Chain A
Amino acid sequence: MDPQAAKYIGAGIAALALGGAGIGLGILFGNFMNGALRNPAASAKLFGNMMLTFALVEATGLIAFVVAMLILFAA
């Protein structure tokens, strides 16, 4: 296979990790809405925790992005 083509395919495969980040964000926001609708009084406290977790979950997807960028431009 042409190494250049293999590079692009590899970068594309690395982007699949976004699916995992998407599932994580779905669970996170879904559960936040669930909790906030059941107990609206607690939603302000939940929101801070949710934002922290959001950043942590999103970082996982971004590490896949870093891998894709490394494959495309650094390797």
Chain B
Amino acid sequence: MKMKPGPAGPYENGVGIVAAQEHHSPLEQFRIEHIGGHLSLGGYDISFNNSALWMLIAVAAITVFMLIGIRKQAVVPGRWQALVEFLYDFVANMLKENVGSEGRKYFPWVFSIFMFVLFCNLFGLLPKSFTVTSHIIVTFALAMMVFLIVTAIGFIRHGFHFLSFFVPKGAPVWLLPLMIPIEVISYFIRPMSLSVRLFANMVAGHVMLVVLGSFVLPLGLAGAYISGIVPVAAITAIIGLEFLIACLQAYVFTILTCIYLNDAVHMHH
């Protein structure tokens, strides 16, 4: 995506020069950079990088946030405690509505997933930060963990009877050779769809911000500095949308976890 340096003519107004200088890949922001020394173990690169740093920051922030929230345990909660209680109630209700009372013992796990995804998404919106969830391997690891744990719960609760999950109830027998492969494929595609959804939303939002940001200077120079307001206004609106998306995707990831959990706990309702 490099611009060809053409004749000097089109660059006279300064637009071309800025566009050519500022023109780098909008995916640059997702680059993984090593922090500190280079470590390798058994042929794998295990050095500390900015992705790991921002994961640690998210975990530390969640811990501090929750601990301050529950420190006083007042009957009438203060602002901070009310926020923590709101998040707790939000996830607890989600779990109760989707899984029922049997889902209660999985609450700590589901709540951890929700808080981790939410904080990683929100920290990604800070300037100069790194969006952990914008890497497919991170979201895929999360989704695979959900998939494996849910499958394990299904087998532990129902034994090999869990395999009848792949046989749709009430389907005519002659359709089963077609239906069972479809059910199996749609079950195994779950970690893919779960991870790609979160990853694509995060990447698309951040790329859109950078692309719009690269319009500001060329457009401002082109129209007496006033026309640069247009992309700035657009970025301001998009940032608002991105905050919505960051929370919404954490919600969607969690609610799909609840739905999968429900499938494993109560097969076929």
* A residues at B contact (CB < 8 Å): 51-52, 54-56, 58-59, 62-63, 65-66, 69, 72-73
Contacts and interface: CB of A to CB of B under 8 A. Distances in A.
B201 A58 contact: yes
A73 B26 CA distance: 10
Contact of A59 (B1, B25, B201): B201
Given A52-B255, A69-B27, A72-B1, A59 B200 contact: yes
Nearest to B244: A51
SS of A interface (majority): helix
Interface string B198-219: 0111011001000000000000
Given A55-B249, A73-B25, A63 B196 contact: yes
Interface of B: 1, 25, 27, 193, 196-197, 199-201, 203-204, 207, 248-249, 251-252, 255
Contacts of A62: 197, 200-201, 204
Nearest to A4: B1
Contacts of A52: 251-252, 255
B255 to A, nearest CB: 6
Contacts of B252: 52, 55-56
Contacts of A54: 248
Given A62-B204, A65-B204, A55 B197 contact: yes
B196 A59 contact: yes
A63 B200 contact: yes
Contacts of B27: 69, 73
A66 B255 contact: no
